[in-house]
């Protein structure tokens, strides 16, 4: 759990740096092509504003992925360099405080999940599995364009 004690913020901002085990982030991944097994690295600065906390810094996670085209395993880094999170301490959306501590884990989890690839590719131009070229009417599918029919129209 990644948390900050509010009493430590009374005098000045604090810096949090370290690693958080992937199991502690509870990503609940249902995509079998992506696994988060390595720890999340963080380097954060937390400061207290009038009625809120401002958390800024860097988050980094290395994912173990399988390419959706060729099924080759590869690693992909998810890096949030200028990550920032504003946490209100008052009002309707205030964060919960437990023993003078605020848990930052749910906010880190949410934003790092948004950086996960939807369709992991080992390289952008991955050709897929060898020997599995798909043909349509003697033409390679990559040459087919949805604009072909429109190009034939004479307007």
Average pLDDT, the chain: 83
Total length of the chain: 155
Taking residues 5-14, report their average pLDDT. 83
* pLDDT the model gives residue 25: 81
pLDDT in tens, 46-82: 998 888 889 999 999 999 999 988 989 999 999 999 9
45: Cα separation from own chain's centroid: 20
Confidence class for position 136, pLDDT limits 50, 70, 90:
very low
- In this structure, are residues 22 and 40 in contact, taking their beta carbons and an 8 Å threshold? yes
* pLDDT the model gives residue 131: 59
Percent with pLDDT over 70 in the chain: 90
pLDDT in tens, 95-109: 888 888 888 888 888
* pLDDT the model gives residue 132: 52
Percent with pLDDT over 90 in the chain: 24
| pTM (2 d.p.) | 0.72
- Pick from 2, 51, 36, 48: which is nearest to 113 by CA? 36
Highest mean pLDDT among 37-51, 92-106, 125-139: 37-51
């Amino acid at each position: 759990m990644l948390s900050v004690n509010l009493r430590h913020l009374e005098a000045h901002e604090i810096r949090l740096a370290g690693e958080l085990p992937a199991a502690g982030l509870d990503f609940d991944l249902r995509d079998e092509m992506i696994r988060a097994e390595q720890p999340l690295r963080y380097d954060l600065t937390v400061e207290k504003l009038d009625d809120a906390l401002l958390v800024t810094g860097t988050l980094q996670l290395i994912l173990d992925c399988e390419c959706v085209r060729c099924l080759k395993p590869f690693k992909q880094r998810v890096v949030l360099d200028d990550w920032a999170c504003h946490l209100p301490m008052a009002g309707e959306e205030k964060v919960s405080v437990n023993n003078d501590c605020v848990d930052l884990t749910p906010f880190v989890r949410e934003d790092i999940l948004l950086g996960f690839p939807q369709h992991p590719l080992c390289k952008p131009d991955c050709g897929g599995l060898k020997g599995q070229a798909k043909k349509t009417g003697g033409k390679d599918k990559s040459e087919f364009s949805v604009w072909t029919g429109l190009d034939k129209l004479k307007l």
